[in-house]
Amino acid sequence: MDRKQVEYLLSAYGDFLLKNDMVPPGKEKFFVIWMRRYLKMEPSLRGMYWEDKLAQYLSILSNDVNIAPWQVDQAGQAVRLYFNNFYTVPQKYQPHATRQSKYTEKDWVDPKKAIRDLREWLRIKHYAYKTEQSYMNWCKRFFIFSQEYNGVYGNNLVAVTPELIRDFLARLASRQQVAKSTQNQAFSALLFLCRHVLHIELNEMEKNLRSKTGKKLPVVLSPVEVKQVLSHVSGTTGLMLHLIYSSGLRLSECSRLRVKDIDFDQSLLFVRSGKGDKDRSTILAERIQAELREHLKKVKMLHKKDLADGFGEVYMPGALDRKYPGACKEWAWQYVFPSARLSVDPRSKKTRRHHVSDGAIQKAMKKAVKEAGLAKPASVHTLRHSFATHLLLNGVDIRQIQEYLGHQSVETTMIYTHVVKEMRNPAISPLDMLEQMAVDESA
């Protein structure tokens, strides 16, 4: 077994100890640690039974001055529980023993083939590249869990059932204590796998396995706080953060902005294929137009240099690169915020200049918030929330703000009205009322 398989097996060992009340809650991690140390030294003792290996293992621990005698006893207990109780459990999930009894023939899946089919279906459905990677990672983790559950590893078939999916999500929630949104993301990936690749019906489980999330108020900065944050940024990242706040863009929408999408005459920005594959227009602040024009002059010089070096292509959406072969080198299609270096496209394997990394903008925002001395957990997306809230404070119609933000429903935009209500007409605390009464009485 490789390291990843060993870690998953040890994690299952910890779950087994807790489930069967063999150790008090919180102590299972120490048993896992001792077992991991045993497995690391095991290759040097090949050809011996585990009982003989255990004697050698405990002898090594006893000679370590940093390990107390009670810890040696605990290590011995951990190894004995592993081999006497836990290690025998997976044997009943071997394919030859369960193919006819527990599972039907259609339940058995080849993980590698399933992952390949999953990628094909995600691209047929035109899912975003990041979504593709996320779904594939969750499904890979699920198949490793399935191999652990069935007691098989490597390229063997695994049995996949709705109950196994439920157990995997339960493990994420109880054992790993992931966030609700993470659990729902994992379920969405497995639901896509079941519907399009495995053809497994989850029926009522589709409703029951999603974690319910409550409505949360967004983090919003006041105009003064936004000014403080933006005063600590400069250069290309500073321009992008100014643009995100002034136009209410998402980070990905800003980084993927193309030259043709800027209309200086109308003071508009056009967002193409935003969230939900929707186009929209939003406002372009006059204050940053001069800086944006100067930035584009530098980008155009960089593009000319790339063309002279034999590059200059940019990623084209859909099949436009085949329909208009020369468009990928045209100035209008270039990214407004290109990367500092050329890179290889992970799908087409072509060398291109992609847009700037989202991580660079997030780091710049985090640094600016820290330098501004703000205690709020503000991120780049906080500027988008602040854009909507400040427009509401200035009396802009909620429907117009909905169009600027690209929300499908006005109910999504309505959440900012709750923030505005608290900022515009805050209630007076009863404690302040008592203080005011004392002042009036003394007068």
**364-394: pLDDT as tens digits:** 999 999 999 999 999 999 999 999 999 998 8
Residue 103 has pLDDT above 80, yes or no: no
The pTM (predicted TM-score) of the whole model is 0.66
Classify the C-alpha dihedral 419-421-423-426 as positive or negative. Answer: negative
Higher pLDDT, 171 or 243: 243
Percentage of the chain beyond pLDDT 90 is 37
SS3 363: helix
358-372 and 223-230 helices cross at what angle (nearest 10)? Answer: 110
CA 329 centroid distance within chain = 33
> If we measure between CA atoms, which residue out of 344, 386, 337 comes closest to residue 361?
337
Give the Cα separation of 341 and 352 in Å (integer): 9
Residue 415 has pLDDT above 70, yes or no: yes
Per-residue buried b or exposed e for 28-60, using 16+ beta carbons within 10 Å of the residue's own CB: beebbebbebbbeeeeebeeeebeebbeebbee
- Catalytic hit among 303, 352, 353, 407: 407
- Catalytic hit among 135, 149, 404, 416: 416
How many CA atoms are closer than 13 Å to the CA of 182, on its beta-carbon side?
12
Please give the torsion angle defined by the CA atoms of residues 141, 147, 148 and 154, in that order, rounded to the nearest 10 degrees: -100
> What's residue 16's pLDDT?
80
Is 381 assigned a catalytic role?
Answer: yes
- Per-residue tokens: 96: 């030859």
Are the beta carbons of 258 and 272 closer than 8 angstroms?
Answer: yes
Residue 360 region by backbone torsions, left for phi larger than 0, else alpha for psi between -120 and 50, else beta: alpha
Least confident of 29-43, 107-121, 302-316: 29-43
Residue 150 has pLDDT above 80, yes or no: no
Residues in the chain: 443
> What's residue 90's pLDDT?
40
Is 385 assigned a catalytic role?
Answer: no
Give the Cα separation of 63 and 69 in Å (integer): 10
- Catalytic hit among 36, 195, 260, 275: 275
> If we measure between CA atoms, which residue out of 328, 329, 340, 226 comes closest to residue 285?
226
Are the beta carbons of 365 and 378 closer than 8 angstroms?
Answer: yes
pLDDT level of residue 286 (50, 70, 90 thresholds) = very high
- Per-residue tokens: 273: 């294929």
- Catalytic hit among 250, 272, 280, 295: 250
pLDDT level of residue 263 (50, 70, 90 thresholds) = very high
Sheet with strand 268-271: strands edge to edge: 262-263, 268-271, 280-283
Is 37 assigned a catalytic role?
Answer: no
Give the Cα separation of 277 and 209 in Å (integer): 27
SS3 355: strand
Are the beta carbons of 280 and 403 closer than 8 angstroms?
Answer: yes
**pLDDT tens for each residue of 166-223:** 888 888 877 778 888 888 899 999 999 988 988 888 877 766 677 777 777 889 999 9
- Per-residue tokens: 201: 């019906």
Is 40 assigned a catalytic role?
Answer: no
Query: Phi, psi at residue 219, to the nearest 5°?
Result: -75, 125
pLDDT level of residue 156 (50, 70, 90 thresholds) = low
Give the Cα separation of 385 and 218 in Å (integer): 7
Classify the C-alpha dihedral 251-252-256-262 as positive or negative. Answer: negative
Q: Which residues contact 228 (CB under 8 A, 6 or more apart)?
A: 372, 373, 374
Is 149 assigned a catalytic role?
Answer: no
Give the Cα separation of 82 and 74 in Å (integer): 12
Mind listing the domains of the chain with CATH numbers? 3-87 (1.10.150), 93-208 (1.10.150.130), 215-313+358-443 (1.10.443.10)
> If we measure between CA atoms, which residue out of 206, 191, 119 comes closest to residue 160?
191
Residue 2 has pLDDT above 80, yes or no: no
**pLDDT tens for each residue of 58-78:** 888 888 888 888 888 888 888
> What's residue 101's pLDDT?
34
Give the Cα separation of 434 and 441 in Å (integer): 11
Radius of gyration of the chain (CA): 29
Give the Cα separation of 307 and 305 in Å (integer): 5
> What's residue 221's pLDDT?
93
Q: Which residues contact 269 (CB under 8 A, 6 or more apart)?
A: 243, 247, 249, 257, 261, 262, 263, 281, 282, 283, 284
Is 416 assigned a catalytic role?
Answer: yes
> What's residue 49's pLDDT?
67
Question: How far from each other are the two terminal CA atoms of the chain, in whole angstroms?
Answer: 83
- Catalytic hit among 384, 385, 390, 404: 384
Are the beta carbons of 338 and 355 closer than 8 angstroms?
Answer: yes
Tell me which H or E stretch contains 120. Answer: helix 111-124
